[in-house]
Structure 1
Amino acid sequence: MLDGFWTRIDHVGDRPALLLSSRPAITYRELADRVASLSRELGTSKKLVAIEAAQSEHSIIAYLAALAGGHAVALLPPEDGVASSSFMERFAPEIVYRREGGRWRLTETNLGSRDVAMHADLALMLVTSGSTGSGKAVRLSKTAVAANAEQIADYLGLHPGDIGALVLPFHYSYGLSVLNSHLAVGAAVWMPGTSVLEPTFLDDFRAARCTNFAGVPHSYELLEQRGFRQQRYPDLRFMTVAGGRMEPEAVRRYHGWLQGAGQRFYVMYGQTEATARIAYVPPERLPGSADRIGIAVPGGELWLVDDQGVTITGTDVAGELVYRGPNVMLGYAEARQDLAGGADIEELRTGDLATRDENGLFRITGRLRRMSKIGGVRLGHDALETALAAKGIAAAVVGNDQQLLAAFTGPQDEKVVREALAMLACIGLPQVRAIALRELPRLANGKIDYEQLRLRMEEPPAREKATVISLFREVFFPLQVSPQDNFAELGGDSLRYLELTVGLERLLGTVPDGWEKMSVGALSALSHSTSARRTIASDILLKSIAILLVVLHHATPWPIPGGAGTMLVLCGYGLARFQSSALFAGDLRRFLRPLGLVLWPYYLVVLGFSIAWGAIPWASVFLVGNLGFAQPGRHEMLPYLYWFVETFAQLLLLWGTLFAVPPVRRFAVRDPFRFGMLLLAFAVLAHFVIPALWPVGQRQIFTLAWVLHLAVFGWCAAFANSAGKRLAVIAAGCAVMPLMAYTGGNWAGSWILYGMQVPVLAVLLYLPRVRLPALLAAVSVSIATASYHIYLLHRILPEVIFDTGNPKIFTAPLPVAISVASGLVTGILAYRLQRRMMLGHQLWRGLRQLARRLRYVPAGRRRTLLGAGAAFAREQHGSRVSP
């Protein structure tokens, strides 16, 4: 058995242990003295000690004192009367330690059953399922608690000089693991006593000299809202995330930002049944493994089993994830008598479906158990059904990690059931739905058909017109919200903050600074005054400006070059943002899939020219017309303006080829920014060398070699996630762009073309979002989304309508206006037509698959399935589709 860290705190001396905002630091020496004193009060006979797990030195000292005295500790959520009463009734603790009247008191309850002696190994109890009143408690041994603290400290590389930020709930196994692992190595824990929402949090975090931060995915979304990555933290060594799936893009974002400063980001996976941690992704495996949970913690073992319990040895084969290690629980407990037993299990069936890749890293693909994890809280669907039944509601509960749905029968109103479920689950109304059914769907054996209910979750809910006050009432249910209340006074937390931020952006167009301290009435008054403005991504605005410049360039005698150059910068920027995950995974098929969407409208244009000319422009068919050996005049290729499509296709093929080489891909995965800067040097060299080796005269401006550096600049801008990297991109732009302008003819147009790209890079680097009048924002979005189709078609109508060989056509205001307007309109209409065709194709494929499956479905279920399909169609097309 491992020697528990709680037995060693008196060996550390005067090093700080707990850092609190309300008082001087508590040293390990002081902590040891106070733990020993309280331990003597608890006595020597083993007791169950229930502790209100507030973020307070008192609850931590009580926790350590109970462990040091050989007692069993139960950590209960603070200020939760329902959870506390339920635990007291079921487990009858001998001692309760909690706040009463503002003071911490140790109270003997006389509830403990003298006939039930607790097992000698039992050290800790954590309840896993919200406050439904029927959640199971996990029984953890001394060995498990001590072992997991050592495991975590091992792979994180914790040392006595570390200071961890404890912002997570103490009764939550993840938050508890932060405390345990730091105490295990003699490190310090900072307890701010406030949430990440506080305006002073970032300054306090820096002032405390924290070396690490542990959060759930919602914590990182809050940090983004606070501009966390725009500031410097000289003492920060690493950050960790667990408690739910973090989006791979967010993982890559934080990994890149931390890596740029020589710091680390850890993605972790765990369950309370394994004390806290089961697996982690070594930082060197990021960003390429951003969607993985990684490998087993030191001393643990992970594997997969199939439905028959047979071990799966192959890669990329789904099975249930199983874990074995010293940190696995003794078992569950539902009543006091369960505390007498020893270990019920040797290995933990996690209930999660996973696969293992060729590198030995595991990835979660789904769940076997009926369970959701919303806001870091695990919610058992069966327990929620039982709790609803106790209220007289016959319901079946399904859900995912975003939402719960209760399908019920009976006279209750949907609103009542929805509110009851939200209260039982302790989550907000936005994450809860309820639907009334005449009868619950059942399988042939009489069991509830949960799969059919999951289909109902896909149906869009009917929504009333939202207002600011209705949004607050939804999010803060069951609290009564008045116009005088504000977010801070209502006790808002991180999950509610995010819900309201998104909702207020939808209602107001933008969220004012300090909104959390503005009254609901004041926010409501902003509804009309701020709705005339909208925030959009800066690359969308740049794309719309770029395509407008291209259209003007081809429609007027006053060409403004630079639009196509900006579009190439944005191509590289888009590759990095939206397709790098496929490149890093070596999935070239997924990477090249968007090329098909680009090429088929292009080939329609090729077909049109072929019919008009009576000849096939083979060079354009094979996307090599820009290489200089074909002529539009001989109908061997399309007009020169279509060079951009050929260059873009060649760009994708080049990028895909590079990442098909394993050493190149591994280097790019480790440091995508450095890869980009090296590729930029190659692209600048290619700009001068390849035209010399393959001279094609002035047509060299249409070749990939001539413009490759522009796309690479976009890639570098997307991965410039630190101040130093952003400055490096700007410096490179200021050096390269004048060189290109000078060697590209040294004329005004060349200087405009390349000079424009430096401010374009600056906008991408330093102004990721821009605020515009709502109408201008809507127009920009429409033009940007249709930019490719505008590029393809903007010269078709002018060429048909006007004699473009007559120079006067390009100077007369009416022909110029018609040329520009027709180019924009035809492109937008073509884009919308293609989108409708794609949606129709998806719907047709879905209906064909549904029809094939219906042949094997009992007749009684077909109508429900068809109804779900019709609802999906209505949502996608906005049209009336009957079941």
Structure 2
Amino acid sequence: MFYDIERIRSLGSQPCLVWRDECQSYEELAGAMQRFAAQLPRPKALIAVEAAAEPEAIAAYLGAMAAGHAVLPLPAGDPETADRLVSRFRPAMSFRRKAGTWQMEEHQGDRAAPHPDLALLLSTSGSTGQGKGVRLSAAAVHANAASIADFLRITAKDRAALILPLHYSYGLSVLHSHLAQGASLWLSNASVLDEGFGAALAASGATSLAGVPHHFRLLEGAGLGEALPPALKLMTVAGGAMEAAQVRRWAGRMARRGGRFIAMYGQTEAVARIAWLPMERVGDHAGAIGVAIPGGELALRDEQGREIASAVAEGELLYRGPNVMMGYAEDHRDLGRGAEVEALATGDLAQRDAEGIYRITGRLSRMSKIAGIRIGHDALERALAAEGVEVAIWGDDRRIVVAARGPGRGLADRAARAAGIGPGHFEIVPCEVFPRLPSGKIDYPALRSLAERRSAPGVRAAFEAVFAPEPVRAQDSFTSLGGDSLRHVELTLALEAELGGLPEGWERMSLAELERAPLAPSGVESELAVRGLAILAVVVAHQTLWPVYGGAAAMVLLLGMSLAGSRWEALTGGDWKSYFRPLAGVLVPYYLVLAGFAAAWGQVPWASALLAGNLALTVPETHLMLPYLYWFVEAYVQISLLIALPFLHPGLRGWLRRAGRFRVGLGLLALGVGLRLTLPELWPMGGRAQFTLPWVFYLLGLGWCIASAEGRGRKAGVLALAAGVLPMAAWLGGNWHGSWIKYMSLFALVPLLLYVPRIAMPRPAARAVMLVARAAFPIYLLHRLVPEVILPAIGLGGAGAWTDALAVVGGIGIGLAVADLRGRVLLRHRPMRGAEPLAAS
């Protein structure tokens, strides 16, 4: 047995439990187990242990089992639920933390008398203490630990990151299976969202991490999806259905790093795990539960309770194996009963395909029968999720309630189409946050209790306004929605006003995580500050002779950062709608400006209309192209198309995805340097070459590298590359003082963008900087209207300091006014009308 004291002692100084800055060896654990066991009564009794992920609690849990007692794990840090469980099942003793210290308490009165085979009593509802008690034998617990260690190939060299609660069967199975193999465990009491979790995970030396689907959404939100420690080679998910697309995404990530991602299915009634999906089957069976674990057997039965023999079938899922429970327990009087279950009826509907792969299709207890049609709530949730709406569904044979995170317009009609009944049978309830159990599953009873509560739209409304008309779901983040630099500034301002500040890394947080995350100190993101400085430099340089060169070049650098930061997922996922969507925000106002010039000139500037005005095909004096300053839009579109080209081929796209953002950035930088050294020489354009893609593409590559450089080594490497590339550009750009000012100014920005994510400043000043950054594109498009159209029209044309000042201030002002008007229009947009959304507290 994995909890045998002598077996554990035989492993000697081998590391076992890593906690904080301490490492407890197997020999030390055996001693702690023996000391705890010596305090326990005779004969066999039920011992309650607060299941904290701490060495004291684990030693008590294992020591009680080693002494032959049955153990009731109590939820850590939840005294009310623990008291209910103690009152209900009446253990002889409890080991709990009170007033900050671990204490043993002996209980008086009528005590439970456990059956000789009973080793573990788990609850099916860890959040309330009111669920069924699950009676598990020592043989079942041991068999499941051995089976899991077998199919996961756990060895003594492995170390698990334990982020699951230990009163939950999945968390216990991680503990059991690793102890069975002499492996070690890192005990993390931190949330995935806690600051420093990624660094702590890396420092722990963990080789595996087990979580529920919600944990993996949190990892995405925390920006760890692509930044996992190199040592992590195994990730497992169970405790609920993970979307097929997410299974493929995580399996792909792990495959690229030479690791494995294993999706599993289980129930407390079988200790923990029943089925698993081998990684090689993810490609064609993502979302399936797979095959039975070693030593187990899956089967299906029909509504009459008969087993279905045909190879391809659907019915209630049955499981047989040595890890099946002895039976349920309602209270302490049931603990003396023996084994009563041979085959576990899971209560889940499942399909079996011709290859013997099983897939869950619904839950028998979560069904409605309306108009003679059986409607599975789980199946309906999945159908609506496939349309981009995260929902939680419950109901009866009269109505079905759909709690929805995100826009609810037309949802009743979509649900009706998916279910095959009329929309009048559905009630749509907007919901901000789904309450969850400790396992990460949706807490449906708690959600139903929120059905009458209402709150303001808040964060979601800001996202919906900025991304309208695209639907916004609860699990969406700025990055997953394909946000671009223009939306970034707009949303930053809206969220700052809504939340009073923004947390670090908010772009990758889901809406729910964003509402709960701690706020960053007052200040402004360096990228936004640079954007504001860049557009100010552009306006001043266009109007005066001041040597403030490099504003447009800085904007190309920022474009590279934006593409790497917010559109990498779209590129590697082949999501071209998301990738190209930001072009509309640039091209629509650009073509409005072009239409204005066409009306004034009486002819269409065709070269600019075709986005080729920067290729020196003609000059603005012919009115066949716009003035030179609009070259940036043309280069922006050309760059976007060039970046997309290699990702169009699925095979090459997969190779680039495996290479990772940073290596792709290095490749883009190398390509850009090559273009800069060759094409301007082969296609001489004189001074107009500075408007072309070959002249600036390396800046985009440098910006991409800045955004994707993680860790000291990569950041230092990017700084070193900038130290070589930018002086080269200054020399190639004419080797005059203006060229050196321009490129050395850019070089000064590189360490700022690499090492200073946020610049501290008072909130009013930060908001002013953000307003200018938000208006950067309107300022760029419209600022020359002031000196060239407006001032002459009112008799203030000509040169001079006052004219320059009016031109600069007016150009910035007109852009600010247009941006403010656009922001007001956006934030008046409310896709959801009528009922206010629920908010879980």
Question: Residue in 1 aligned with 2:534?
Answer: 546
**Who is 2:420 aligned against?**
none
C-alpha displacement of 1:591: 0.8
Amino acid at match of 2:345: I
Map 1:779-818 → 2, pairs under 5 A: 779-802=768-791, 809-810=798-799, 812-818=800-806
SS of corresponding position for 1:125: strand
Alignment check: 8 A CA contact 1:266 1:281 kept: no
CA gap of 1:14–1:75, structure 2 versus 1, over 3 A, is same
Q: How far apart are the structure 1 equivalents of 2:107 and 2:776?
A: 73
Distance 2:606 2:723 in 1: 40
1:746 aligns with 2:735: yes
Amino acid paired to 1:557:
L
Contact 2:560–2:700 (8 Å) recurs in 1: yes
Residue-by-residue CA offset, 1:93-139 (whole Å, 9 max, x unaligned): 3554456896754746553456xx65946634146342x45344455
- Change over 3 Å in CA distance of 1:156–1:788 after alignment to 2: farther
Q: Distance in 1 between matches of 2:183 and 2:74?
A: 25
Contact 2:13–2:26 (Cα < 8 Å) also in 1: yes
Matched with 1:475 is none
Indicate the structure whose relative CO is greater, using CA pairs within 8 Å and at least 6 residues apart: 2
Does residue 713 (structure 1) correspond to residue 699 (structure 2)? The answer is: no
Deviations 1:351-376 (A, max 9, x none): 7969999xxx9x9955456999xxxx
RMSD over aligned Cα atoms: 5.3
Q: Report the Cα distance in structure 2 between the residues aligned to 1:104 and 1:231, rounded to whole angstroms.
A: 30
Q: Which deviates more from structure 2 when the two are superposed, residues 690-699 or residues 139-148?
A: 139-148
Question: Of the candidates 196, 215, 230, which is equivalent to residue 223 of structure 1?
Answer: 196
2:491 matched residue in structure 1 = none
Give distance in 2, aligned partners of 1:510 and 1:272: 29
Tell me the amino acid that sits aligned with residue 589 of structure 2. Answer: P
2:227 aligned with 1:254: no
SS at match of 2:709: coil
**Which residue identity is paired with 1:335?**
D
CA 1:867–1:92: 2 relative to 1, 3 Å: closer
1:128 equivalent in structure 2: 125
Contact 1:39/1:68 (CA < 8 Å) preserved in 2? Answer: yes
Shift of 1:568: 0.7
Shift of 1:701: 1.2
Question: Given the superposition, is the C-alpha separation of residues 111 and 282 from structure 1 closer, same or farther in structure 2, using an over 3 Å criterion?
Answer: farther
Alpha-carbon distance between aligned partners in 2 of 1:451 and 1:80, rounded to the nearest angstrom = 21
The two structures have a TM-score, normalised by structure 1, of 0.65
Q: State the distance in 2 between where 1:320 and 1:541 align.
A: 60
- 1:619·1:636 contact (CA, 8 Å) conserved in 2? yes
Offset, 1:838? 4.4
Q: Secondary structure at the match of 2:759?
A: strand
Who is 1:697 aligned against?
686
- Mapping for residues 630-779 of structure 1, pairs under 5 Å: 630-670=618-658, 671-779=660-768
Structure 1 residue 270 and structure 2 residue 259: aligned?
no
2:613 pairs with one of 618, 625, 628: 625
Q: Secondary structure of the residue that 1:253 maps to in structure 2?
A: coil
Q: Indicate conservation of the 8 Å contact 1:164/1:190, yes or no.
A: yes
Aligned counterparts of 1:773 and 1:618: Cα–Cα separation in 2? 47
CA separation of 1:585 and 1:6: change in aligned 2, threshold 3 A = farther
Deviation, structure 1 residue 646: 0.8
**Distance (whole Å) between structure 1 residues aligned to residue 822 and residue 111 of structure 2:** 71
Q: Which moved more, 1:643-652 or 1:656-665?
A: 656-665
1:151-188 deviation line (CA, Å, top 9, x unaligned): 76678775434566667654355654553343222134
Please list every run of 5 or more consecutive structure 1 residues that lacks an aligned counterpart in the other structure.
Answer: 192-213, 311-318, 373-395, 406-424, 433-446, 462-501, 512-529, 848-864, 873-883
**Structure 1 counterpart of 2:12, from 11, 14, 20:** 14
Aligned residue type for 1:244: H
Distance 1:720 1:22, change over 3 A: closer
Distance 1:663 1:96 in 2: 59
1:184 to 180, 188, 209: 180
Cα displacement (A) at 1:664: 3.2
Contact 2:119 2:137 in 1 (8 A): yes
1:378-397 alignment, distance < 5 Å? none
- Quote the offset at 1:50 in angstroms: 1.7
- 2:276 maps to a residue whose letter is G
The answer as to whether partners of 2:208 and 2:235 remain within 8 angstroms in 1 is no
Q: Distance in 1 between matches of 2:573 and 2:327?
A: 39
Counterpart AA for 1:53:
A
Compared CA separation, residues 70 and 564, structure 1 to 2 (3 A): same
Show the counterpart of 2:60.
62
- Give yes or no for the alignment of 1:87 onto 2:80: no
Instruction: Give 3-state SS (helix, strand or coil) of 2:761's partner.
Output: strand
Alpha-carbon distance between aligned partners in 1 of 2:379 and 2:677, rounded to the nearest angstrom: 50
Q: How many residues of Structure 1 are paired with residues of Structure 2 in the alignment? A: 680
Secondary structure at the aligned position of 1:637 is classed as coil
Preserved CA contact (<8 Å) 1:606 1:638 = yes
Q: Which amino acid aligns with 1:617?
A: P
CA deviations over 1:255-287 (Å, ceiling 9, x no partner):
54445xx3337664332999xxx9897665269
Q: From the superposition, tell whether residues 647 and 68 of structure 1 become closer, same or farther in structure 2 (CA, over 3 Å).
A: same
User: In the alignment, which residue of structure 2 is the partner of 1:300?
Assistant: 276
Distance 1:581 1:356, change over 3 A: farther
Structure 2: distance between partners of 1:787 and 1:321: 60
Report how far residue 558 of structure 1 moved: 2.1
Map of 2:110 onto structure 1: 111
Output the CA distance in 2 between the equivalents of 1:106 and 1:249: 39
User: What pairs with 1:487-502 in structure 2 (closer than 5 Å)?
Assistant: none
1:844-859 matches, cutoff 5 A: 846=831
Distance 1:78 1:633 in 2: 76
Cα deviations by residue, 1:750-796 (Å, 9 ceiling, x for unpaired): 11222222222211110011101333211110000111111011101
* Structure 1 residues 6-49: Cα deviation after superposition (integer angstroms, max 9, x where no partner): 58834743124555889996543454466467668768876433
Q: Say yes or no: does 1:833 pair with 2:821.
A: yes
Partner Cα separation in structure 1 for residue 548 and residue 458 of structure 2: 47
Q: CA separation of 1:20/1:753 partners in 2, compared to 1, >3 Å: closer, same or farther?
A: closer
How far apart, CA to CA, are the structure 1 residues paired with 2:140 and 2:381? 26
Q: Residues 608 and 333 of structure 1: is their aligned pair in 2 closer, same or farther, counting only changes over 3 Å? A: farther
Kindly state the Cα deviation for residue 718 of structure 1 after the two structures are TM-superposed: 1.1
Alpha-carbon distance in 1 for matches of 2:26, 2:81: 32
Partner of 2:478: none
2:678 alignment partner AA = V
Which TM-score applies when normalising by structure 2? 0.68
Q: How does 1:139-158 map to 2 (within 5 A)?
A: 139-140=135-136, 142=138, 145-146=141-142, 149=145
Please tell me whether the aligned partners of residues 787 and 797 of structure 2 are also in contact (alpha carbons under 8 angstroms). Answer: no
Counterpart Cα distance in 2 of 1:230 and 1:661: 38
1:74 matched to 2:65: no
Tell me the distance in 2 between the aligned counterparts of 1:249 and 1:649.
33
Partner of 1:479 in structure 2? none
* Greater shift in the superposed pair: 546-555 or 793-802: 793-802
1:817-828 matched pairs, under 5 angstroms: 817-828=805-816
Please give the per-residue CA displacement for 1:208-245, whole angstroms capped at 9, x wherever unaligned: xxxxxx577x3443326xxx649984956566655734
Cα distance, 1:678 vs. partner? 1.6
Alpha-carbon distance change, 87 to 448 in structure 1, aligned in 2, over 3 angstroms: closer
Q: How does 1:458-537 map to 2 (within 5 A)?
A: 459=457, 534-537=522-525
Instruction: Write out aligned runs for 1:44-55 (5 A).
Output: 47-54=45-52
Looking at structure 1, the residues matched to 430 and 34 of structure 2 have their Cα atoms a distance apart, in angstroms, of 46
Q: In structure 2, do the counterparts of structure 1 residues 252 and 737 end up closer, same or farther at CA, with 3 Å as the change threshold?
A: farther
- The one of 555, 558, 567 equivalent to 1:579 is 567
- CA gap 1:143/1:714 in 2 versus in 1, 3 angstroms: farther
Matched with 2:406 is none
Return 161-170 or 620-629, whichever deviates more.
161-170
